[in-house]
Chains A and B, each alone.
Chain A
Amino acid sequence: MAANVPTQRLTSFNASHAGFEAHRDWERVLNRGGYGMVTWPAEFGGRALSLIEWLIFEEEYYRAGAPGRVNQNGIFLLGPTIMEYGTAEQKSRFLTPMAAGDVIWAQAWSEPQAGSDLAAVRASATRDGEHYVLRGHKIWSSRAVFADWAFGLFRTDAESTKHRGLSLILFSLTAPGVRVQPIAQIDGELGFAEIFLDDARVPVADRLGPEGEGWGVCMATAGFERGLMLRSPARYQVAAGKLLALAKARPERVDATIEAALLQVVMDAEAYALSIFATASRLAAGGTIGPEASTNKIFWSELDLALHSVALAILGAAGEMLVHPDDAAHDGDWLDGFLFALAGPIYAGANEIQRNIIAERVLGLPRG
């Protein structure tokens, strides 16, 4: 990994087409070495490694300072769902180009009136022979500005309400009738977009899972996302290590308050790693990930925010400064990371929704 990681830091995949394509090239490098998604079977470009081995791979990946995965939506979310629900034809058509970085995926869940209440989606897929005709408006679609394809929930039964009558449909972002409108994020970058669907025609063969059962299929995807795949512990351990280095380099900035916060975030990064190893042990022994995945999502999102908040506290007045040519220590990265971490408690199911899930499905409290 260390021998292959780009020597020049790549520009953000949200900042420009060039940055996105540089990250795609890195995905191709990974895939050529058989490291695109190491847990996948060899026929789809993987190495059939176990979950524990994947965690080890992730440790090496983050330790080498390798670029962020532009391919994340595909390999961690859609890929596992295709393996579980896809037809043989869908597996062969989608998984190999996904692992190769040739097709990069965006998410298309939310709509203007369906955020936390995802089951309120209105975008429709109307059957017309061997096609669906997509109409509607998706929003907050991560990576959609530069990505190739998207996956999202559509109402295939016009009479249905809530989570019934929905289907998970895959569509090309360059198909006729699909228009992508970038949205600038809090950092000014184009990390997400609106997608307007105006009679876009999609083959029925691009529906994943049974018609009308998209909610269950999509919840499987959300389970992977909230679960251990989206955030491997090495990410936070490496960040905590960098934070300790920052504190050691600037001892005059570390007062008792900062020291206490530092201790807490480092312990939390360890706790997250131990918890993931405990989950991986359970899965290896034949267990499953249930609603307790929601506790993970709350924990890592709050940990990420706390880590970066401590860094900004150490940086003090310098914390507001963006990365600039004289910034040899890359202090500005902490601000970038902080801004990104602010989104953590919101995306992939807001933490309030996760707390509802824990209360209702783990503790058995009544639905509100």
Chain B
Amino acid sequence: MDFVRSEPRTTLMALKILIAGGFGAGKTTMVGAVSEIPPLRTEEQLTEVGSAVDDASGVEAKTTTTVAIDFGRITFDNRLALYLFGTPGQDRFWFFWDDIAQGALGAVVVADTRRLEDCFPAVDYFERREIPFVIAVNCFPGSRRYRVEQVATALDLDPGTPVVLCDARQRTSAKEVLIALVERVRRGQQW
């Protein structure tokens, strides 16, 4: 083509990390705390066949749900971009998770100790697909503090899965969580 422009100068490599957890656990807060750009939102429209419980005619209802994904980016040396995707927590979005999780470096499961059961689906998902992950216990002000061992037992984690206490609003704290995850990934890889 005669209007092709010059080759782009920088070669970027991209990696992604998923930030999962229950509704309101602090996923987007954590993304925003470490992202170098204000978190962006992308949406996906999913068409799903409804359960039709309210439908007397027996015609299955088809509904469209919009799933919003908030994400951020950290660029190192203008060469390596790390993307953080806050993934919706509900079980019914699994097929959507498969799309985002494909090729992910690993995942952070943000846990709220007041609703620890909310992160069971995410823990199950990552264990089943052998995606390395860490649990980041978001210590909300006023919530009871638990020891990491207690959280690990309550979630029935595999022994190698790190549990980190954090404050998702704090950049340094969110950064420590990501470091714990990348170290976990390194331990799991055979070089």
To the question of whether A and B form a pair in one complex, the answer is no
Binding site for B on A (CB under 8 A): none
Binding site for A on B (CB under 8 A): none
